[in-house]
Structures are given as structure tokens and as C-alpha cells.
Structure 1
Amino acid sequence: MVADAPVIAVDGPGGSGKGTITQMLARRLGWHLLDSGALYRLTALAAEQQRVAFDDEAGLVRVASSLDVAFEPTPAGEPVKVLLNGKDVTAAIRTETCGDNASKIAVIQPVRDALLQRQRDFQQSPGLVADGRDMGTVVFPNAPVKVFLTASVEERAQRRYRQLKDAGVSVNIDALLEEIRARDERDTNRSAAPLKPAEDAQVIDSTGLSIEEVLDRVMALAGQA
């Protein structure tokens, strides 16, 4: 970790556009990228691969502590490439099941503790764009720029629906809407680092905005980093 390397922390609920914005921002600035949510998904996937139960706290901590993970940049519009033990697991960690499992283990404080330092180690020169749900409140509380990106539940469900349909996945919009609402409820009310804007975060509602419009707003804030 390079303590003086600037950090732009981008938090918000799933489907708010964080992943797309942070990748575009990291490319534009030439900075490193941290997809913190992927770490929880990777822990969930690795636990499943190692047959560690999601109620086995000690086992989950062991899995989280030994993750061999790397992020690789991809062309604009594509999700960041995620490697687990050198294997591309980008698609495997983006399923709804993996996301739901990740949300479940994210409430376990010892697992969060195991992943905290690993996240902070991504802070390297020339700078870091950190994508997550507690980047500005817990992981990088001293980040000079903090953004909380959100959107209506309906908008986020539609975005996820289109994404899955484009990928050839059969999905029910009503079921997807309920899943997102349930996840929001769990993430907002969890005792460990609940999903909320940092006190000094700039809140951006992306409902009805294009990706370019959101990026322009965040880029304007990035000048303060």
C-alpha cells in the first residue's frame, strides 16, 4: 500500500452503474482499479469450490485470507476480468446465485476483517479507483473523493434484466425486482458496515442519466483527488 496514493471511492447499491463508471474512470485517469464486491463474490465462489459451508465462519475466514486474486483491464463496455488462482472466473462470479451468496457472507465481520487489508493493499501509485459498498465509510475513510452512486430499484432491475437478456440468460423481471429489493434491505440493515453514503460523499442518482453524463459528473469530482 502507498498511503499517499490518491483514492476515489465509489459506493452504492448493485445495478447503480458503479462497475461501468469505475472502469471508465480508471482508464481515463490511468489508475488502478479495485472491484471490492468481486472479493466477496470470489470468497463465495472459492468457498463453494472448496466445499466450505456458508455458515462455517472459520472456514470462510480461511478462504478469504488465502484468495489468490487479480484484476485485469478489459475493453470499454466489458466487465473487469477477474482471475482466481490464475483462472478467469469473470462470468462465474457474476451470476445471481453467487451475488446472493456474497451478500450473505458480507455480513460476517471476521470475513470482512480478513478482506479489509487486502483491499487496502490495492492503494498504489498513481492512484486507485475503488468500487464497492463501504469504500468511503470503512476501507478508505480518508479518500479525498467519495461518490455514492444510486438509482431507483426499478431502474436497476431493468438494467440487470437487459444485461442478462443480452447474455442469453432467461430471467423474470418481477423476480429480479424482488431479489434486488431483498438484497438492498439486507445490505442497508446489516450490522457490519451497512450500505450508506459517507458523510462527505457526493450522492449521484443515475436514474435517467446516460453513462457519459454520470462519468462527466464523477470526472469533475476527480479533479479534487
Structure 2
Amino acid sequence: MQQKRIIIAIDGHSSCGKSTMAKDLAKEIGYIYVDTGAMYRAVTLYSIQNKMWQGSALDEEALRCAMPNIKVGFKYYPEEGRSHTLLNGQDVEKEIRTMEVSGKVSPIATIPFVREAMVAQQQSFGLDKGIVMDGRDVGTTVFPNAELKIFVTADPKVRAQRRLDEIRAKGDSTTTFEEVLKNLNERDYIDSHREISPLRQAEDALVLDNSHMSIPEQKAWLIDRFNSIVK
């Protein structure tokens, strides 16, 4: 008998490794992976590239007018075993991970017309099920009826160190731990207090605190939960 296909929603705080675990899980079970955070980062990158910022002030009207022209997608690279984010057909995976984008993505993600456009794109990805999607509001707003919901969290200092390690691995030796921790705490506050789709744990979500878990331990935990639903 063919195994039923489901939607897996993984939400949680930034730098918890949600994307890594979601990618690994999708690869393991043969599902499509969708990184919703990368989608908002792509919109943020578009706003930066098109000079919509004056200091910390965003020209929202300019972004509103541009939204119909912003298409975010994903391309899978077999040789890497992962997907890259595409902005209007261009691979922007490296560009969306900079600190400049990190510092502006939370304000962008609070804008109702941005969220409406991205949620519509995200929901279109799930029409055939068989997807793993991670973000801030996947289990509460995008797919409230997802069969498996995971809420991931970890100690802020542990998360900041993980994010700094990522930045260092990409050749940035100037960003400090304190800068990353400050940015992470600011993003947590904005994400949790925004009016539109705030970050919160869905009532039926399973909590995964991975502060002291290895990646193999997380993977085993997720596979176990997945199997308990599809079998």
C-alpha cells in the first residue's frame, strides 16, 4: 500500500537549525523542501537592490507596487543535495544570507501585503502535499491543517553561536558574537510581537528544544514522529 503523503510544518525561533533539519528530513523521506524564511529574505534583498531604503526607513509604497513582479522559487542541486533560493529566476542563495538582509528581514516580514503575497505562493507549493516547510507561521497561518507540526526552540546564546559559525564559514571574520546575539534577540521580539501572523506555537505542535541535541539525534526524533503519522 502506498504511504500517504502529508504536509510537515516546522516553525520556531531564528537560528535553531530549522532549515537544516527540514532539508535533511525532506531529503530522507523524498519530500519537497520549502524555506519560507528564505522567501522573505528574497523580498528583502529585492528591496535593497532596488534602493527602497533610506537608512532604516523603507519605502513601503514602492515595495507594494513591486510585489506583483517578485517571484520566489527554489531549485534543487543534486550535487549539493540541497535547494537554492531563486528571485525572479536568479540564484540568490548567498546574497540573502548577509547581515544586511538579516537586519532588514523582520520589518519586511511584518508588512501585511508582503505576507499575503508570500503565503499565497507558499500555499500553492502544498497543493499536492508531500512537502516540508519551515518558517515562523507555517503551522498557524500557512498550513493550519498540516498533519505534522513541529515547534523548534533553543537557548538564545546557543543559537547566536550557531549563526556566527555560519557567518564565519562564509568568510566573514568581522561580525562579532555580540552583534549576532543582539540581532537575534531583536528578531525574536519583532517576530513574536508583530500584528500579522506572529511567531507562536500551534496548539497541536510538538516542541523540539535542540539546545543540546546533535543533528543525528534531531533527525532520528523527526523521523520517528513522521513514521508515527504515515504508518
Tell me if TM exceeds 0.5. yes
5 Å-filtered alignment, 1:120-135, equals 120-125=123-128, 127-135=130-138
Instruction: Say yes or no: does 1:67 pair with 2:87.
Output: no
Provide Cα deviations, 1:56-104, integer angstroms capped at 9, x if missing partner.
3333234333223221234698763112222211010011211221111
Residue of structure 2 in register with 1:196 after alignment: 200
Contact 1:43 / 1:63 at 8 angstroms: preserved in 2?
Answer: no
Structure 1 residue aligned with 2:45: 45
**Deviates most, 170-179 or 193-202:** 170-179
| Higher alpha-carbon deviation: 66-75 or 119-128 | 66-75
Amino acid at match of 1:110: F
1:90 is the counterpart of 2:93: yes
* Aligned CA distance change for structure 1 residues 36 and 63 (closer, same or farther; 3 Å): farther
The alpha carbon displacement at 1:35 in A equals 0.7
Identical amino acids, percent of aligned pairs: 36
- In the alignment, which residue of structure 2 is the partner of 1:163? 166
CA contact (8 A) 2:7 2:148 kept: yes
d(CA) in 2 for partners of 1:65, 1:9? 26
CA displacement 1:8-48 (0-9 Å, x = unmatched): 00001111010100111111111111111111111111122
Q: Does the CA-based 8 Å contact 2:39-2:85 persist in structure 1?
A: no
User: Does the CA-based 8 Å contact 1:14-1:156 persist in structure 2?
Assistant: yes
- Gapped runs of 5+ residues in structure 2? none
* Greater displacement, 144-153 / 163-172: 163-172
The SS at the match of 1:104 is helix
SS in 2 for 1:121: helix
TM-score by length of 2: 0.89
CA distance in 1, matches of 2:90, 2:49: 13
Measured in 2, the distance between the counterparts of 1:110 and 1:122 equals 19
Once residues 68 and 188 of structure 1 are traced to their aligned partners in structure 2, the CA distance between those partners, rounded to angstroms, is: 26
TM-score, normalised to structure 1, is 0.91
- Cα deviation, residue 165, structure 1: 1.4
* Partners of 2:203 and 2:214 in 1: CA distance: 26
Which moved further from structure 2: 48-57 or 102-111? 48-57
Of 179, 186, 193, the residue aligned with 1:182 is 186
Shift of 1:183: 1.1
What code does the residue aligned with 1:213 have? E
Once the 2 structures are TM-superposed, how far is the Cα of residue 5 of structure 1 from its aligned partner?
5.6
Distance 1:117 1:16, change over 3 A: same
Determine if contact 1:47/1:63 at 8 Å carries over to the other structure: no
| Range 162-171 or range 72-81, more displaced | 72-81
2:19/2:134 contact within 8 Å kept:
yes
Size of the alignment, in residue pairs?
Answer: 222
- Structure 1 range deviating more: 141-150 or 165-174: 165-174
